[in-house]
């Protein structure tokens, strides 16, 4: 991939870079994005229709099992070179703010020291009613596990459509978007709000906007640079060219 020299020198001088990732960065690890058609048991369902409180209340077992299957899948796959490149970048530059829409936990497993999980985590489970987190739970495969405090139904600690994002996470994300010199939107279709507005918040503060995505998105026309291809290939190359090959002096 050719990186324009003015971008290379700009990034080398950047003290704070903010990155927003979406399901596309986990695709090369073997995890399905929301855009990908579902397969097997879940082929007949659209994710947007399962990732809602209404769907859970309507059919708790179906939604619980969908997340249990995704949790198991996430446990069996490995981070890919794109995750590792971002973990390495956090060790190279003065400040990297890593924001993710993903719930798979792969950034942390790749070694990223601090990850802002805007949409929660599939690895954590809490009570739908009282909100208490369950460290462990028994899934007998028949019934949705119950809260040990109030016997309410347990649910994945993810943000469903129609639910608010965790306030602290969103506030940190907005601060990171407003104070960075460069904002990267990586592996996301940029359709889900409010995460999709972060790039515009950065742009309004004069940050350079860079997109790395398999295909163009609604953000592409507003980017200063857009690289279309696989993040697992582009990110390691970008780190190499910008921060490793820099000539001395
Ligand atoms: C809220 C967790 C309200 C769950 C997720 C109309 C207009 C605007 C907004 C709305 C609207 N109607 C409703 C809304 C609000 C809604 C929303 O934005 N809807 C959209 C669909 C229009 N938003 C919400 O409901 C949010 N909450 O607004 O609250 C509120 C306000 C006040 C008080 C109370 C309530 C909550 C949104 C969070 C939903 N939860 N995930 C779970 O994971 O199950 S979102 C989920 O879908 C993902 O997290 C992801 O962010 C999103 C999209 O999934 P994908 O498309 O698969 O992934 P992604 O977008 O990342 O795209 C993949 C991209 O990667 C593709 O472009 C592809 O080309 C690329 N790619 C693929 N492979 C690669 C690659 N790129 C590089 N390399 C590769 N190898
Ligand atoms: Zn409870």
Model pLDDT for residues 190-244, shown as the tens digit of each residue: 999 999 999 999 999 999 999 999 999 999 999 999 999 999 999 999 999 999 9
Residue 22 has pLDDT above 90, yes or no: yes
- Alpha carbon nearest to ligand 1 atom 55, residue: 34
**What's the whole-number average pLDDT of the chain?**
96
Helix (H) or strand (E) holding 6, with range, is: helix 5-13
What per-residue confidence (pLDDT) applies to 249?
Answer: 43
Task: Note the ligand closest to the C-alpha atom of 156.
Answer: 1
- Predicted confidence at residue 88, as pLDDT, reads 98
Q: Which residue minimizes the CA distance to atom 49 of ligand 1?
A: 101
- Largest CA-CA distance found in the chain, in angstroms, rounded: 65
Average pLDDT value for residue range 24-49: 88
CATH superfamily of 1-31+79-119+160-249: TPP-binding domain (3.40.50.1220)
The percentage of the chain sitting over the pLDDT mark of 90, rounded to a whole number, equals 91
Whole-number Å distance, alpha carbon 170 to ligand 2 midpoint, is 25
Is the bond into 194 cis (omega within 30 degrees of 0)? yes
User: What average pLDDT score do residues 28-33 get?
Assistant: 94
Q: Which residues are known to be catalytic?
A: 119
Contact 49, 209 (CB under 8 A): no
Where are the strands (E) in the chain, listed by range?
16-21, 95-100, 115-117, 120-127, 154-158, 182-186, 208-213, 225-228
For residue 152, the CA-to-ligand 2 centroid distance in Å is 5
């Amino acid at each position: 991939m050719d990186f324009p020299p003015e971008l290379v020198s700009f990034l080398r001088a950047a003290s704070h870079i903010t990155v927003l990732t979406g399901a596309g960065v986990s695709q090369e690890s073997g995890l399905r994005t929301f855009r990908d058609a579902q397969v097997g048991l879940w082929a007949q369902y659209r994710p947007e229709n399962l990732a809602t409180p209404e769907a859970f209340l309507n059919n708790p077992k179906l939604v619980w099992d969908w997340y249990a299957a995704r949790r198991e899948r996430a446990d069996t796959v490995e981070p890919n070179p794109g995750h590792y490149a971002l973990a390495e970048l956090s060790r190279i530059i003065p400040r990297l703010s890593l924001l993710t829409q993903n719930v798979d936990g792969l950034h942390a497993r790749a070694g990223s020291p601090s990850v802002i999980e805007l949409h929660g985590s599939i690895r954590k489970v809490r009570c739908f009613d009282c909100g208490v987190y369950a460290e462990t739970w028994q899934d007998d495969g028949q019934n949705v596990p119950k809260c040990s405090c109030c016997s309410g139904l347990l649910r994945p600690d993810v943000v469903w459509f129609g639910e608010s994002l965790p306030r602290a996470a969103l506030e940190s994300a907005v601060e990171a978007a407003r104070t960075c010199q460069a904002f990267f939107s990586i592996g996301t279709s940029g359709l889900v709000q409010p995460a999709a507005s972060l790039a515009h918040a950065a742009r309004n503060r004069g940050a350079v906007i860079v997109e790395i995505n398999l295909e163009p998105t609604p953000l592409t026309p507003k980017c200063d640079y857009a690289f279309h291809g696989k993040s697992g290939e582009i990110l390691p190359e970008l780190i190499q060219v910008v921060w490793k090959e820099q000539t001395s002096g």
